[in-house]
Structure 1
Amino acid sequence: ALTIFLFSLTGIPLTVGFIGKFYLFAAVIRGQFYILAIVGILNSVVSLYYYLKPIRMMFFEQPRGDEGTVRFEAWNYSLMGVLACATIVFGLYWSPIISFANRSLSFFTGPA
């Protein structure tokens, strides 16, 4: 689940984080702030290094003893699973989120 969340923060496609970054950069480019868009994209690439470091440690390095063992209950695993699935589902089918955001925006700004 942590891997999915970190990929979403990075903006990897098929996650909801990609959709958020896509709409953000599209708005910045539409506003003709090209320097800001380039800086944002480069910052996303740099963040990939930092977000992949915990993933590398989880899957490719051996644990150092029993000092870091954490116990979870069943509802913790259930919640992480539901949220990880929602991250992927809304990355594939994002129209409900966009329509909700548009309705919320029109509520505050009035009908267009």
Structure 2
Amino acid sequence: MSYIRAEREGDWLLHLTTFRKMLPYYFAAGHVNYARYGLYYLRSMEKLPPHVQGYFLQGQHVTRQIRGIWNGLWSDQFIESTFMRYSHSTGGIIGITLKPEALGPEPPHLLQD
């Protein structure tokens, strides 16, 4: 819950503290990639240049679709929600692959009789 709070509020120090506390659980659960790259991520974030760290301390490590508090999103959630919103709107990409012109020309090896 602390990690979610850190992201929603844009609290960089809480983000780092909570992430550090989550790392042993990644190892214990056998999530090798999260454990390995999580440790790398944590070490990299601890060595940020001062000007970047200043931005992150101001809450600029999260994205927001609207101004306010408690509405920060992880970048992957922001990208996915934005993509889903635009893709389902009029003129979006849903259904575009059903149109023959969207599929492009047939590869030559498939055109043989």
Give the structure-2-normalised TM-score: 0.29
Whose RCO is larger (CA < 8 A, sep 6+)? Answer: 1
Which has the larger Rg?
2
